[in-house]
Amino acid sequence: MAQLRIALAQVNPTVGDLGGNAGLVAAWARRARDAGAHLVVFPEMVLTGYPVEDLALRSSFVDASRDALERLARRLADEGLGDLPVVVGHLDRRTVALVRPGQPAGSPLDGAAWLHGGEVIVRSAKHHLPNYGVFDEYRVFVRGDTLPVVRVHGVDVATVVCEDLWQDGGPVGVTGTAGAGLLLALNASPYERDKQDTRLELCARRAREAGCALVYVNMVGGQDELVFDGDSIVVGADGAMLARAPQFTEYLLVSDLTLPAAGPAARPAREPVAASDGTTITIERHVLSGDPVPAYPARPQQVAERLDDLGEVYAALVTGTRDYVRKNGFRSVLLGLSGGIDSALVTTLASDAIGPENVHVVMLPSRYSSEHSVTDAEELVKRQGVHARIVPIGGMVDAFEAELDLHGLASENLQARIRANVWMGLSNEHGHLVLTGGNKSELATGYSTLYGDSAGGFGPIKDLVKTMVWALARWRNAQVGSDLPFLHPFEGPPIPEAIIVKEPSAELRPDQKDSDSLPPYDVLDPLLVDYVEHDMGRDRLIAAGHDPDLVDRVIRLTDLAEYKRRQYPPGPKVTPKNFGRDRRLPITDRWRENP
């Protein structure tokens, strides 16, 4: 047996920032060296950020990634880190003599590389390319067909990339044949609810299948709609969890492992093996250091405490909002604060994400606004310390109505669009990013005004049904005094109880309530989850216990609102199927579940 100290660098890169991401790798590699690590591994595509989408089809971007990888190897050596093996994800390409129809231009690869001694010594690439949910990697990558096995201090270490763990066969399936003592899996696995237990079970199953310990390192941070939660894991050959990193924070997880020493028998440097998925995987062997390290006292393993279900969702929303603001160069945000639960939660998320001193809210009372809406909003401002101003819109509405003869819904929507004009004007004047307050229940049923309350640059709660909005508001109020790192230390509950318990209303006509147009949310939301997230058709929805008349009504509302959703800003994905990257339906569509 041999000892090896592995460092898992759970970091937050930015797509396209090759220089910044290389600096990130160098800084965290130094931390790993200072911790006595013998090997440090980084997430999938850490050098380019992930997902790069169609940037992978630009030869200039692929060239820049390859050049950045070579420069990073030299930089690590120049900074005294050349003797530390560093494993990074990057964008590569396969050299082909002929461009084949049906393959991505330039044959890009989702690559993994070993850096050592100032050089790139090993290159490989993801074999299984996901083409479901938020992924469409067949569009932008070709698959790899090698399994690198690198001998480090007497231990044979194999490397795979993300989806290679999730699918049977391929490089993971031949790891046991290769005789590896450790399997590294580089990941950029987005967060969604209940995924953590699935990941742990997957890692345990693949470790047992490969017959060796497994290191799963995951990215952290937000990228457009996706949020990466970290949650890096080390499991033993028997599938038992040995170490686990915290969620939603950059972290260096250091784990001492006792692993099988590599056998003395000579094996070919290149060995083609038939994988169980019908492909051929070539095992490529390299030797960095054949002798085990002298015995040393192992550090205690670290297993971070998990967040509860609501805490995970809230942390994902904070992370996604923070990084969208930060990575896109904004310093502040602005939103309309109505005194309702949606804008209250968005304000609180923004305060937690970037600090209340960078949050600006606008109260826009109209002739139909209730007195308590303004006072409730003012109470929230007082509790959180955000910047606030009141801009009454009554006179603006009167001016429009003097020129346009609008009635009913058209008049209601006019008020919402005037409010949006105020937000966008202040955004242009002061450089704020406008946050929208629409939730998934409203987006599903079309209960929003196009170019009104749907206007803005980012929608923090667009993947939350209304009942989850209330649940998260109550959860956040209960965290006063918590030391969770993603929460601002408010002295008391940040959301007034009056906002949480009031009946929701758009306040666009006298005594308006959401229930005038929609069924109760505790009835509506389960139906929407089954239709939108579980893809149930009409018959299955009725069989699941939903009222047939309500099923027909909600299906019709949801299908007709597709054009609105297509124009809605991005927002963090936290469910298995969000409105955005996950769910892609035609706007022009005559298919009806109940013709």
Which residues are marked as active site? 44, 126, 162
Q: Which helix (H) or strand (E) holds 87?
A: strand 86-93
Query: Tokens 């929230």 belong to which residue?
Result: 380
Sheet containing 119-125: order of strands: 119-125, 108-116, 86-93, 39-41, 2-10, 251-259
Annotated binding site for L-glutamine: 132, 189, 195
CA 309 to chain centroid, in Å, comes to 16
Count the helix, strand and coil residues of the chain and give each as a percent rounded to the nearest 5. 35, 20, 45
Cα distances (angstroms) measured from residue 219 to each of 235, 274, 342: 18, 31, 29
How many whole angstroms separate alpha carbon 289 and alpha carbon 293? 10
**489 exposed, middle or buried (CB, 10 Å; 0-12, 13-18, 19+)?**
exposed
541 close to 428: Cβ distance less than 8 angstroms: no
Annotated binding site for ATP: 336-343
Residue 129 to residue 109: CA distance in whole angstroms:
10
According to DSSP, residue 299 is labeled: P
- Cα 55 to the chain's mean position, in Å? 19
Give CA angle at 242 (238, 245), nearest 5°.
Answer: 135
Query: In the 8-state DSSP scheme, what is residue 532?
Result: I
- Detail the residues annotated as belonging to a binding site for deamido-NAD(+): 413, 442, 564
| Contact between 41 and 182 (Cβ < 8 Å) | no
User: Do 255 and 119 contact (CB within 8 A), yes or no?
Assistant: no
Q: Are 572 and 227 in contact (CB under 8 A)?
A: yes
Measured CA to CA, the distance from residue 270 to residue 267 in angstroms comes to 9
Measure the CA–CA gap between 104 and 137, rounded to whole angstroms. Answer: 10
Residue 41 dihedral angles phi and psi, to the nearest 5°: -125, 135
The binding site comprises 132, 189, 195, 336-343, 413, 442, 564
Measured in whole angstroms, the distance separating CA 546 from the mean position of its chain's CA atoms is 32
